[in-house]
Chain A
Amino acid sequence: MAERRAKDEQLRAVLAAAGASGSWDWEIATDRLFVDTRFAEVYGLDPAHLADGLPTSNFYSAIHPDDRPRIRIAVAGLLAGAEFFSKEFRVIDPSGNVLWMHGRGQSHWNEADEPVRFTGLLVDVTERKRAEEQLRIAQSAGGIGTFEYSDGFATVSVSHAFCRLLGLHPTDRLPVRTINAVQLEKGEPLIPCGGDAPMVDLLDGTFRIRRGDDGAERWIVRRGEIIRDSIGTGYRLLGAIYDITEAKRQEAELRALNETLEQRVEAAIAERQQAEEDLRQAQKMEAVGQLTGGIAHDFNNLLTIIMGSVDTARRRLDADADPRLRRSLDHAAKGAERAAALTHRLLAFSRRQPLNPRILEVPRLLAGMSDLLTRTITESVAIAIDVPDGLWQIEADPNQLENAILNLAVNARDAMPDGGALTIEARPRTFASAELPDDLRPGDYVAISVIDTGVGMEQATVAKIFDPFFTTKEVGKGTGLGLSMVYGFARQSGGAVTVESRLGIGTSVTLLLPRADALAEHEAAVVAATTEHGNANETILVVEDDDDVRAYTVGVLRELSYRVIEAHDGTSALRLLDKQDQPITLLITDVVMPHMSGNELAQTARERQPGLKVLYTSGYTRDAIMHDGRLDAGVELLAKPFTFEMLAGKVREVLDR
Chain B
Amino acid sequence: MIPEHVALTELERDALTEIVNIGVSRAASSLRKMIGEQVLLTVPSVEVVSQRRAARLISEREVTDLVAVRQDFSGPFSGRALLIFPETNSLELVRAVTGGELTAEEVLEMEDEALAETGNVILNSCLATMANMLKRSLTMTIPEVLRGNGATLFEVDHGGEEGLVLFLYIDFAVRKRDIRGYIAMLMDIPSLETLKELLDEFIARVVGDDG
Which residues of A are interface residues toward B (Cβ below 8 A)? Answer: 60, 65, 68-70, 72-74, 76-77, 80-84, 109, 113, 152-155, 169, 171-173, 175, 177-178, 181, 212
Contact = CB atoms under 8 A, between A and B. Distances in A.
8 contacts: A68-B207, A73-B15, A74-B18, A76-B18, A77-B21, A171-B44, A173-B171, A175-B61
Interface string B171-206: 100001011100000000000000000000011001
Nearest to B63: A177
B14 interface: yes
B25 A84 contact: yes
A172 B42 CA distance: 14
Nearest to B15: A73
Interface in B56-99: 60-63
B18 A77 contact: yes
Given A77-B18, A77-B22, A70 B11 contact: yes
Chain B at the A interface: SS class: helix
B25 to A, nearest CB: 4
Q: Across chains A and B, which 10 residue pairs bring their CB atoms closest together, nearest first?
A: A77-B18, A83-B25, A76-B206, A82-B22, A68-B210, A69-B207, A178-B61, A81-B22, A82-B21, A154-B180
A77 B26 contact: no
Contacts of B110: none
Interface string B1-30: 000000000010011001101100110110
Contact of B25 (A73, A82, A178, A212): A82
A113 B178 contact: no
A81 B61 contact: no
Q: Which bracket fits the contact residues of B?
A: 35 or more
Contacts of A60: 210
Given A68-B210, A172-B44, A177-B62, A154 B178 contact: yes
B178 A72 contact: no
Contact of B61 (A69, A83, A113, A181): A181
B22 A80 contact: yes
B129 interface: yes
A69 B203 CA distance: 8
Contacts of B28: 83
Interface of B: 11, 14-15, 18-19, 21-22, 25-26, 28-29, 42, 44-45, 47, 60-63, 129, 132-133, 169, 171, 176, 178-180, 202-203, 206-208, 210-211
B61 A73 contact: no
Nearest to A169: B47
Given A171-B45, A212-B60, A72 B18 contact: no
Nearest to B172: A154
B102 to A, nearest CB: 23
B61, B133, B169 interface centre (most CB from chain A within 10 Å): B61
A153 B172 CA distance: 10
Contacts of A76: 18, 202, 206
Nearest to A168: B60
Given A80-B22, A82-B22, A82-B25, A70 B14 contact: yes
A184 to B, nearest CB: 14
Given A73-B207, A154-B178, A173 B44 contact: yes
A73 B11 CA distance: 8
Contacts of A81: 22, 25-26, 129
A212 B57 CA distance: 10
Nearest to A179: B61
A73 B178 contact: no
Given A153-B178, A181-B61, A72 B133 contact: no
A178 B129 CA distance: 30
B121 to A, nearest CB: 13
Nearest to B21: A82
B180 A155 contact: yes
A537 B28 CA distance: 148
A83 B21 CA distance: 8
Contacts of B45: 171-172
Contacts of A84: 21, 25, 42
A70, A72, A77 interface centre (most CB from chain B within 10 Å): A77
A169 B63 CA distance: 18
Contact of B179 (A80, A83, A154, A212): A154
Contacts of B21: 77, 82-84
A74 B43 CA distance: 13
Contacts of B180: 154-155, 175
B206 A73 contact: yes
Contacts of A169: 47
B128 to A, nearest CB: 10
A72 B14 CA distance: 10
Contact of A65 (B15, B29, B129, B210): B210
Contacts of A153: 178
A212 B171 CA distance: 22
A186 to B, nearest CB: 13
A215 to B, nearest CB: 12
A318 to B, nearest CB: 119
B26 A73 contact: no
Contacts of B178: 152-155
A155 B207 contact: no
B48 to A, nearest CB: 12
Contacts of A212: 60
Contacts of B26: 81, 113
A290 B65 CA distance: 92
A15 to B, nearest CB: 24
A82 B18 contact: yes
Contacts of B132: 80
A68 B61 CA distance: 35
Contact of B60 (A70, A109, A113, A178): A178
Contacts of B176: 152
A186 B187 CA distance: 38
A155 B62 CA distance: 13
Given A74-B14, A83-B29, 5 more contacts: A69-B210, A72-B210, A80-B133, A84-B21, A171-B45
